[in-house]
Amino acid sequence: MIYTHLTNEERDKLAVLRSRGWKLREIAEKIGRSMGTLSRELKRNNSHALIFRIKPRSGRKGARPKNTSVNG
């Protein structure tokens, strides 16, 4: 059996349709993928699948400096 990853377009469709309340079975039929594939995608990449691509914030602060004192 040959396995292929979801394309970014398929991931976007999954995110949009889930946000509109579609059931996983309906989405699987619409994009031509198995329900198991979509279910695993949601479990594995929940943040990617359910949140649309967000541009990085501008003016983002750097990492907090580490506390290097011996007592602290």
DSSP 14-52: HHHHHHTT--HHHHHHHHT--HHHHHHHHHHTHHHHHS-
Domain annotation covers residue 25: yes
Domain annotation covers residue 36: yes
Q: pLDDT higher for 65 or 41? A: 41
Q: pLDDT higher for 3 or 32? A: 32
**pLDDT for residue 38:** 94
Give the range of the structural domain holding residue 34, as residue numbers without chain letter: 8-50
Domain annotation covers residue 18: yes
Domain annotation covers residue 65: no
Domain annotation covers residue 56: no
- Tens digit of pLDDT for each residue in 5-62? 899 999 999 999 999 999 999 999 999 999 999 999 998 876 554 444 545 555 556 6
Domain annotation covers residue 20: yes
Domain annotation covers residue 19: yes
Domain annotation covers residue 29: yes
**pLDDT for residue 31:** 95
Total structural domains in the chain? 1
**pLDDT for residue 24:** 94
